[in-house]
Structure 1
Amino acid sequence: MPFNRKPNKVFTPGPTPIHPAILALGATQPPYSRTQAFSKLTFEIIAGLKNVFQTSDDVVLLTASGTAAMEASVMGFLKPDDKALIVNGGTFGQRWVDLCQRHSVPFKELKLDAGKTPSPEAIEKSLRDFSCNVLLINAHETSTGVLYDVAKIGQVARRLGVFFVVDAISSICADPFLMDEWSVDVAILSSQKALALPPGLSFIALNGKAKTRLLADPAKTLYFDLLDYLENQKRGQVPYTPATGVFVMLHQRLKDIASVGLEATLLQHETLARYFRSKLTKFPFTILPERSSSAMTALLCDEALDASRLVASLEKEHGVFVAPSGGELKTKVFRVSHMGDQTQQDIDFLIEALRTVLLKFEYINMREVAA
């Protein structure tokens, strides 16, 4: 069966809708990378990424997935004599667990119920009780839509002298993120979230404390040798063939963000999230997280409503893609992204599609939603 390329409305938290002007750049011939022109482009990309990370320190450019950047961070910055505390609130907290297990990094978990946020006090207590010197979190746990308070957690990390690593893959450019001000030592971002680009690029921002860890015990890896990347980037290059076409798209996207201002980009996400949530008052959904990201909204369905059936019907009948959930949340929760090239008119289309599907399901009390 051929892949369906008919126009659809995409509300998934990655890949996200790409602006037509950026898509047009992706349709051009990818450039050869070993040139002075490409080095100039790379330097400008690094400067643009420092802006979105809000850091004055280095940023490594990887042609790889977000999970690859997380793994590169575990391999490069963490050692067998470290002890990490992992805040595990869902799929991507579990990703840190899986990576530490695979690479024999000792750890303890602070496990959270779906949609719950960890208090700084609970994190501090766990760090002290377990004698941890590393803290691994997700700024936004994308599986449940919950936004952690990285600023306050960073205060704890700074006070205790803990090495602080943040997966901000689905948070940066959608929610405020101030790497330097919040005492984050390592932060991770990927191209397919609020940057609204194709998948394939990930970025690791690291401060001097992190670089010291790299130098003290270089990782036994070739492709993920971050010191090699830092050395090559001094001349505007990376060690191995990059996704040059996506680099070109990224370069323009970062210019666009700088042109309108990072604050305006954040406000766009916040405005869309608020608009969508304002339309839900008569629907049989509850917002799952106690503290939501502007990147997306995770919705808990009423007991009688199967979320997976709703997701499938939206796709089949309306060409609308929202994100399903997995595991025990599969039939309970679905997720709606506010990232990428999205407008209030797109949200209106989604709301009408939701209304139509729920009326078809003959869901109780839904007639009033049609009014």
Structure 2
Amino acid sequence: MCPAVYVGDDAPTTGRRFSPHARTRPPCLKARRPRRCSLSTPAGRRNTVNHKDDGTHLAPRASRKGRDELLNAIHAFIEQHAPCADADLLEQMVYTVCRLAKDRTGRGELKILNRALKELRLAFKTFAPFAHVRKATIFGSARTPETHPQYQEARKFAELIQAAGWMVITGAGDGIMRAGHHGATRESSFGVAISLPFEQSTNDVIAGDEKLVNFRYFFTRKLMFVKEANAIVLFPGGFGTQDEGFEALTLVQTGKSHILPIVLCDEPGGTYWQHWRTYVKAELLGTRMISPEDMDLFHVTDRAEDAVRVVTRFYRRYHSQRFVKDELVLRMLSPIGAADLDRLNATFADILTGGTITQFKGALPDERGELADLYRLKMSFNRRSMGRLRKLIDFVNDAE
């Protein structure tokens, strides 16, 4: 077994170079190809991958005694150095790290895991104090000048959404990203920056702020863009903007993200998103690569005021969602009337796998008292019809 567990430099990016291996490295990691520790399979034998091997499942050829000793050691370590309510998850993470040594994972892959974990830890820490504030992620070109109408519209959206009590998240660069920070002000802005060899630099509005996080990897950065967002608003941009927009739509369409308003906003009279929607209808919907209901996952506009209306309307009554076992639970700030509930069941029966949509107040047992003062709609949702679910939420918000 690896003789030590150690922690390298704490912060992912602080503007200086750092080495996660500054301290003495365990002997099992000193060689370019680490020597096998006690969890390794015998020489010449290939390990059978067990995708559920989190410390509670034994790989076919692993030593049960060695595994139990390792799990006990990890449990004791976490109990002493990192006690918390979710210690079981920390233990699984440490177990996975030890498995990396057994798997002879290359140094390059270890560096990716190491850096990604550090980036996410700092990002989670940065956003945590503001978990109670709704946030809009703004995407768009870094090349849009301050004098351009698209910049002015992005700035106006940020001003209006901040006035509604929201904060904004942008990529911290220039162009549309700066417009978002410019409109919302530094105090109501987050910067999620990326290190690039060209173009990207932290804009003057958010530079040096404690709510600025720097990333090396796009995948960790994009996770934070979506994870922390209650709405996503896209202004015209290049490949990066298109990538971010399509990924957000894909995550919502497939149920990998909670449903949220996605607004495509242009300058007044602009045609960027009009042409984009024409392409989507002709080449994706027209060839049945997406469903008609998928067109309801986004809203196209050329007015910042309309974008704010769509975003804030989404949360007029609807609050949040979660799955409790096989049931989808929509939390609401206020109940809908009996007649509206009947119409809801009649209109959206096609997205249920059985039963009806019921309404009640208070948390289900598996919600552990979370948001117990809110009303709920519970249903057996088919987990496919996300565009229809978006329309259902609109119905709920518009009900008297």
**TM-score after normalising by structure 2:** 0.23
Task: Compare CA radii of gyration and give the structure with the larger one.
Answer: 2
More RCO (CA 8 Å, sep 6+): 1
